[in-house]
Amino acid sequence: MYRNDGFRELNRQESLSRLAQVTVGRIVHTRDALPAVLPVNFLLEESGAVLLRTSASSELVRAVDGAVVAFEADEVDVAAQSGWSVVVTGSASVVTDPDEHERLVRTGPRSWVPWPVEVFVRIEPELVTGRELVGGRTCYGVSLPS
């Protein structure tokens, strides 16, 4: 969260409520020492953890398993110049418990692309931040110098 940039901060509960409204976000991580970002569909758990389902052999899994990552989702209305953005930051790890994996096969997020061997990746909600802009031009354009 950046202060003094004209946006309203959302608290943890407001942030998670917005995150629960969408099904696609972006996992932000480091790959070969460079910043990397990849859109993925996800499921939000009650704890605020973000759950992804992907190929066991994917480079994404190798890049994020055991690392601290950020997961971002947003909704932006370009015409109204309004929107929100939520970021969950925390450790990502592959679900290795067989019973939990079995349960998530039934209850977890669905893959958009089926893979022969899938794994679930959970991002712990160690830090949850959000920001909202309600009608940027109309709200802020009047009283501030242009």
Footprint on this chain of its own copies (rule: CB under 8 A): 2-7, 23-24, 26, 28-30, 34-39, 41, 54-55, 57-60, 68-70, 72, 74, 76, 78, 81, 83, 85, 87, 89, 112-116, 127, 133, 136-137, 140-141, 144-146
Question: Which residue, 17 or 89, is less far from its own copies as judged by CB?
Answer: 89
In sequence order, the β-bridge partners of residue 72 are 26, 87
Least distance from its own copies to the Cβ atom of residue 99, Å: 21
Which is nearest to 50 in space by CA: 116, 115, 95? 95
The structure tokens listed for 92 are 């990502």
Least distance from its own copies to the Cβ atom of residue 6, Å: 4
SS3 of residue 73 by DSSP: strand
Apex CA 45: angle with CA 130 and CA 123, to 5°? 70
Question: Which residue, 25 or 48, is less far from its own copies as judged by CB?
Answer: 25
